[in-house]
Structure 1
Amino acid sequence: MNLTSRGVARTLTAVAAAGTLALLAGCSSDSDSTAPVSIGDNAAVGSCAATEGPLITAAGQPEIQLPQPAGWERNTMQDSELVRLVLINTSLVKNGFAPNIVVTVVPSSGTFDQIIDNEISTLQKMMKTDVPEGELGTVCGFESYTVTYDASGMEGLPVHPITSRMIVVPKEGGGSNTVVLTVQTTDPDDPTYQEDSQAMLDGVQITVNEA
């Protein structure tokens, strides 16, 4: 197995772990909450940030389109109802690990704060690390929370940063979906990775097409 193949294999292990975290976080949501997220005017058409270049579409609802910078290729080995999209850049392999972005979608319920608290609590338990305070924002009119934390130990990887952007997308009739974009590398100072990862996080397009 060559360096690139090893990098992809270790990356897919990380992808699977990211999917498991999202699933566990979603399962811990407070389904008995009396203050659910309201869709309101959040899904206004045209409220997503402008982006340039090609977009790649993830299957399922809500519809998610992600900017696809040069060198970032789709890998479908982990595709599922939970893991909607994985892009890997094998040209940026470092420490035997290929930078990647994983898009997961999991049903959620409760208020925005409750959903995010559940996500952060699960991250801290599973990753056995402190998760620093993140940043509130909006993506396509939906409330979001972005946090960067350190992870290590998986497949013998060195300590490295992971950034997760959590976007709570309300559903008509109650409840919501939590869309999580998780991007990581073992070479965070690489300028190409910095530019590309920011472009993907900031340029994601989310559309709710209710039947």
Structure 2
Amino acid sequence: MSTRSRLAAAVLPLLVLTACSAGDDAENPDATGPTEVTAAAGCADVDGELIAADTRAGEPTLEVPLPEGWEDDSTMNSELIRLALINPDLVRDDFAPNIVVTAEPSPADEQAAVDRQVQGIQQATGSADVDREDGEVCGFTSFIADYELPEAGAVPARPARVQVIVVPHGDQTITYTLTAQATAPADPAYAEAVEEIFSGVQIAA
């Protein structure tokens, strides 16, 4: 199985998690025209290259640092998946570490959107305990959580770390998730890249 095929298989649990967190009232954003975009306060200073996630008309923009050795795999992009980064140099167990960015518009308010993401992790892992650290990204409500992803075909079970950011957008919210996964998460190069990307998120809404 190719690296990209393994990535596709490994991303499936992330989509299931997102589906668990999405309520029946989730809907697509109105993409009929642009809205005024202003830089959000409180974004971290970043040196080096940034890469932008796909956006739909009128949505906020989201960029993340692109560490050395990491590359964009746009074959995974969809209405839900807006960016997928992999590092072929860090392959372990025939699996490339990756970070997947998703965007989920919803009429839910900020707290309801956060609660849904926590519930999605609980349902996907079968555990009521979520190791979660609350915070803010660019002034927006955020949390980071660690959990275990199940085996997916030839890809072994592995830990994942997700950063959830809820951005108010008109009369709805957009929930962004950045999910990092690797079969060798203790690799310093991987851990440093995840920290660089998570801490360097840039959002203009």
Bin for the TM-score computed over the shorter chain: 0.7 to 0.9
Matches within 5 A, 1:1-211: 5=2, 7-27=3-23, 45-60=40-55, 61-129=59-127, 131-172=129-170, 174-208=171-205
State the Cα deviation string for residues 62-106 of structure 1 (Å, max 9, x = none): 201111011111111121121100001111011121100000000
CA distance change for structure 1 residues 130 and 97 in 2, over 3 Å: closer, same or farther? Answer: farther
Whether the aligned pair in 2 keeps the contact of 1:129 and 1:151 (CA below 8 Å) is no
1-structure distance, mates of 2:158, 2:128: 14
Aligned residues: 192
Equivalents in 1 of 2:65, 2:110: separation in Å?
26
Report if the CA contact (8 A) 1:129-1:150 is conserved. Answer: no
How far does the alpha carbon of each residue in 1:23-79 deviate from its partner, in whole angstroms, 9 at most, with x for none? 442335699xxxxxxxxxxx7644211111100111212201111011111111121
| Equivalent AA in structure 1 for residue 93 of structure 2 | N
Contact conserved, 1:97 with 1:186, CA < 8 A, in 2? Answer: yes
Q: Distance in 1 between matches of 2:62 and 2:40?
A: 14
- Tell me, yes or no, if the aligned pair for 1:48 and 1:139 is still in contact at 8 Å: yes
Measured in 2, the distance between the counterparts of 1:46 and 1:108 equals 23
Q: State TM-score, norm by structure 1.
A: 0.82
What amino acid is aligned across from residue 85 of structure 1 in structure 2?
L
Question: Alignment partner of 2:74: what SS?
Answer: coil
Alpha carbons of structure 1 residues 152 and 19: separation in structure 2 relative to 1, 3 Å = closer
- Offset, 1:128: 3.5
Structure-1 separation of matches of 2:10 and 2:71: 16
| More off after superposition, 154-163 vs 76-85 | 154-163
Residue ranges of structure 1 left out of the alignment (5+ in a row): 32-42
Provide the identity percentage: 36
- Counterpart-to-counterpart distance in 2, 1:178 and 1:11: 22
Preserved CA contact (<8 Å) 1:19 1:104: no
Contact 1:161 1:185 in 2 (8 A): yes
Cα distance, 1:186 vs structure 2: 0.6
| Per-residue deviation, residues 108-166 of structure 1 (Å, max 9, x unmatched) | 23343322221122222234455523011000110101100112221243332101111
Is contact 2:13-2:149 (8 Å) kept? no
Distance, in Å, in 1 between the alignment partners of 2:128 and 2:68 is 33
- Report what 2:32 is aligned to: none
User: RMSD in angstroms over aligned alpha carbons?
Assistant: 2.2
- Distance in 2 (CA, whole Å) between partners of 1:11 and 1:17 is 11
Which 4+ residue blocks in structure 1 deviate beyond 4 angstroms?
28-31
Q: Is the 8 A contact 1:26 1:107 kept in 2?
A: no
Native 8 Å contact 1:16 1:78 kept in 2: no
List runs of 5+ in structure 2 lacking aligned partners: 28-37
